[in-house]
Structure 1
Amino acid sequence: MWTSTIGLLRGIGIIEGISYLVLLFIAMPLKYFANLPIFVQIFGMAHGILFVLFVLMLLIVWFRHGWSLIRVLGAFMASLLPFGTFVLDARLRKEL
C-alpha cells in the first residue's frame, strides 16, 4: 500500500480517518462528560497534522496521475466526513 503515491494517499487517509473517529467518538465525549479537555488537544493536533498531510498527498496525486478536478474535490469532501476516507480507500483499492 505504501509504495506508490496513491498507496500513500490511501495509507494517510486511513490513519487520518481513524484519528477523526477517535477525536469525534472518544476525545469529545471525554471533554464534555468527564471534563478532560487534554484528549481533544492531543488528538486534535494529531488529526490536524494528518489532515494537512492528506491534502498535500491529494495534491501530489492530482498532478502526478492527472485526476480531474471533480475527483479531487470528491476525495477532499470524503476527508471532511466521518468514515469518508474509508469509503475513498475502498474505491481506490478497486482501481488498483
Structure 2
Amino acid sequence: MELKTASALRRLRLVSVPEAVSFLVLLLCSVLKRTTDFNAVPVMGAVHGGLFVLYVIFWADAWKRAGWSLGTAAWFFLMSVLPTGGFFADRRLRRSQGDAAIAARARREGVVNARLDA
C-alpha cells in the first residue's frame, strides 16, 4: 500500500470514532433538550457538524486514493450517517490496515510467491 493511501485511510479511521461519539452525544442532547432545561444542542450540533465534514472530506480522499469500488465507498458513506456507523467503519479500516501491513511485510520477506513455488 502506498504511503499516501495508508495516510488517507488512517485519517478516515481517526475521525470515524469521534464522529460516531459526537452523533450519539448529539442525540442524547436532543432528548435532554426536550425533557429538561438542559440545551447543549447548538454546541454539540456544531461539533458534530465539523466532525461530519471532516469525515466526508477524508472519505472522499480515501475513496480516490484506495480505489474503492462504488459499493465500498457507499458503505463507508452510509456509516457516516448512522448513529453508530463510525465504530463499524473504524473496525473495517483497522482490519484492512492490518491486512495491508501483513501483505507489505510478506512482500519484503519474499513470501508472496511461496505458495506458487510449492
Asked if Structure 1 and Structure 2 have the same fold, meaning a TM-score greater than 0.5 normalized by the shorter chain, the answer is: yes
Indicate the residue corresponding to 1:89 in structure 2.
Answer: 90
4+ residue segments displaced more than 2 Å: none
Letter in 2 for 1:7: R
Letter in 2 for 1:74: W
Give the deviation of 1:29 after TM superposition.
Answer: 2.1
SS of equivalent to 1:35: coil
Q: What is the alpha-carbon distance in structure 1 between the residues aligned to residue 34 and residue 93 of structure 2?
A: 36
Superposed CA offset, 1:52-84 (max 9, x none): 110010000111111111111111111111111
Give the deviation of 1:5 after TM superposition.
Answer: 1.2
Indicate the residue corresponding to 2:106 in structure 1.
Answer: none
Gap runs ≥5 in structure 1: none
Give the greater-gyration-radius structure (CA).
2
RMSD: 1.2
TM-score, structure 2 as length reference: 0.73
Q: What is the alpha-carbon distance in structure 2 between the residues aligned to residue 32 and residue 73 of structure 1?
A: 33
TM-score, structure 1 as length reference: 0.89
The question of 1:12 aligning with 2:23 is answered no
State percent identity of aligned pairs.
39
Superposed CA offset, 1:24-47 (max 9, x none): 12x11221111333x000000110
1:29-40 correspondence to structure 2 within 5 Å:
29-37=31-39, 39-40=40-41
Q: Aligned pair count?
A: 92
Q: What is the alpha-carbon distance in structure 1 between the residues aligned to residue 64 and residue 7 of structure 2?
A: 14
